[in-house]
């Protein structure tokens, strides 16, 4: 008699980018890291918590390198592989680069999972990479207590079109390319509370490559970009504010959300990472007085394979937003602005 096939999400204590360490913990861990100053060609390191490292080869070409992996947030192994790979590829696009190859990172509890299930995870990751036009050229695997999968991705970018998270300018508008609420959906999945339509909606966004980042970076009106993942919309906005030394003002009612996110969060579905995120922001995030808790949990919700947060010239923002929508991100919206002031995020 064959043993029952386990639910992937039941094998992991966390889910997707909700597994990330809280922003405050990460800052503490990196506080003693050596400065990148002795390495003149390391043009992006750990200074501002950017999405990837960048090493200059010459005046026209730089290498973009990143790694991203996590535990499953869905039970279908093929879908898990696609989501994890798409999420890892996003870091390169967020820097304005294009990936050229990837290496797989695999940790599986081989005594609990059939090999066919693990092969499906790898197949899903390879499919996402193929969608980006690159191979998964190797990798590393270990036997681990919980399932882990992701990619190390190498890409190329021109130093002229490199876009960081710290170069937003006062007067810029902010565009978000995908809706938020993924962590709320993942919490519902664990308890069997997400509808089939909700699952298809979530999967569609999480497996959509942020390739638009490489195109936006060619536009001089685009000044800064980052992808919105485990720290939530507020956390990644705060990284941008701190890097730019400016205030980011987010318009609460303009942030796009997944269709069932509001009803689910009101019903109590959210992740532990959402609360950890909120505790990490401190006084650097200012919310409207009397804001309902469910709205705050939407803004702190950890995203997996989320959209890009783009800071651009305000006059160009409507045209850029329309272009992003036409390119396949129909919920892209202008969600705020960059103002001169303290490096904080203010929600209005």
Q: Which residues are catalytic?
A: 17
Cα dist from 179 to 24, 44, 89, 184, 333, whole Å: 25, 28, 18, 12, 9
CA distance 72 to 149: 8
DSSP assignment of 212-244 equals HHHHHTTSTTEEEEEE--TTHHHHHHHHHHHHH
Angle between helical axes of 196-206 and 182-190 (0-180°, round to 10)? 130
For 156, the 3-state DSSP assignment is strand
Bridge partners of 141, per DSSP, are: 106
φ, ψ dihedrals at 276, nearest 5°? -65, -40
CA distance 154 to 97: 10
Q: Dihedral of the CA atoms 180, 195, 22, 42 (nearest 10)?
A: -60
């Amino acid at each position: 008699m064959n043993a029952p096939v386990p639910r992937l999400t039941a094998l992991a204590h966390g889910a997707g980018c909700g597994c990330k360490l809280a922003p405050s913990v990460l800052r503490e861990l990196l506080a003693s890291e050596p400065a990148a100053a002795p390495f003149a060609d390391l043009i992006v390191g750990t200074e501002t918590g950017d999405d990837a490292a960048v090493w200059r080869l010459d005046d026209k070409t730089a290498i973009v390198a990143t790694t991203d992996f996590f535990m499953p947030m869905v039970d279908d192994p093929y879908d898990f592989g696609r989501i994890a790979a798409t999420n890892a590829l996003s870091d390169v696009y967020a820097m304005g680069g294009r990936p050229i190859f990837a290496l797989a990172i695999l940790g599986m509890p081989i005594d609990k999972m059939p090999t066919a299930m693990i092969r499906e995870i790898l197949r899903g990751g390879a499919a996402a990479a193929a969608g980006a036009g690159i191979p998964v050229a190797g990798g590393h695997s270990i036997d681990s207590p919980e399932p882990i999968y992701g990619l190390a991705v190498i890409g190329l970018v021109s130093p002229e079109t490199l876009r960081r998270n710290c170069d937003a300018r006062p007067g810029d508008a902010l565009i978000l390319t995908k809706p938020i609420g993924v962590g709320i959906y993942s919490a519902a999945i664990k308890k069997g509370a997400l509808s089939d339509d909700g699952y298809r909606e979530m999967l569609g966004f999480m497996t959509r490559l942020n390739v638009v980042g490489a195109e936006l970076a060619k536009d001089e009106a685009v000044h800064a970009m980052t992808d919105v993942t485990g720290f939530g919309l507020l956390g990644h906005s705060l990284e941008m504010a701190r890097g730019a030394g400016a205030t980011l003002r987010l318009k609460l009612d303009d942030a796009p959300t997944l269709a069932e996110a509001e009803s689910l969060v009101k019903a109590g579905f959210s992740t532990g990472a959402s609360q950890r995120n909120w505790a990490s922001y401190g006084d650097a995030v200012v919310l409207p007085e009397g804001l309902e808790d469910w709205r705050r949990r939407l803004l702190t919700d950890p995203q997996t394979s989320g959209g890009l947060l783009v800071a651009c010239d305000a006059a160009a923002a409507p045209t850029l937003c329309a272009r992003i929508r036409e390119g396949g991100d129909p919920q892209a919206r202008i969600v705020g602005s960059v103002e001169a002031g303290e490096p904080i995020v203010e929600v209005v």
